[in-house]
Amino acid sequence: MRKEFQILDDFIRQKALRRTPQRENVLDVFIRVEGHVSLDELSRFVKKKYPKIGYTTVYRTMRLLAETGLCNEVDFGHGVLRYEHKYNHSHHDHLVCKKCGRYIEVFDPQIEKMQDKLAAKCGFKPDSHRLQIFGVCSKCQARYNKKSK
């Protein structure tokens, strides 16, 4: 059994919740998804493999998984919440391409450090942050250059 199911089970036991096939099935689908998936998208993926599982259950399970630390809620400011993997994925920030909609993951330890310093300078105690850089990815730049030739 994959470690992720173990984590879910442990959480369920610890909180005196109940093991259900739906919860494991949603996790099963989510594990195979990569990238940043909306509830709507994920729910459709779940429906393909487990047609009986409703949207609401996917919604509630993802909130549960977020509690366990298996996933992360990410908001790119487009009016839709997205979920990304957190287990075995370290913290990162995002480049958001406004042409193709891709989310590119980046990380810079220096920026992270300077953010902490910046907060400290204000006596602010940080516990999370989000950094999103919006623009045009390299692929879309290439595509655009081709067209305009």
Partner DNA sequence: TTTGTTATTGAAAATAATTTTCAATAGGTT
Partner DNA sequence: AACCTATTGAAAATTATTTTCAATAACAAA
From the list DNA, Zn ion, Mn ion, none, pick the one residue 84 interacts with, judged by a Cβ distance below 5 to 8 Å according to partner type.
Answer: Mn ion
Binding map of Mn ion across residues 99-138, x = CB under 5 A, - = no contact: ------x---------------------------------
Query: How far apart (Å, rounded) are the C-alpha atoms in residues 76 and 98?
Result: 11
Q: Shortest approach of Zn ion to residue 14 CB, angstroms?
A: 31
4 belongs to the binding site for Mn ion (CB under 5 A): no
How is the beta sheet containing 81-85 ordered, strand by strand?
37-38, 81-85, 71-75
Which residue's CB is nearer to a second copy, number 9 or number 112?
112
Sign of the Cα torsion 101, 4, 93, 63 reads positive
Strand partners, 97: 135
Query: How far apart (Å, rounded) are the C-alpha atoms in residues 138 and 40?
Result: 28
From the list Mn ion, DNA, Zn ion, none, pick the one residue 79 interacts with, judged by a Cβ distance below 5 to 8 Å according to partner type.
Answer: DNA
Q: What is the binding site for Mn ion (CB under 5 A)?
A: 84, 105
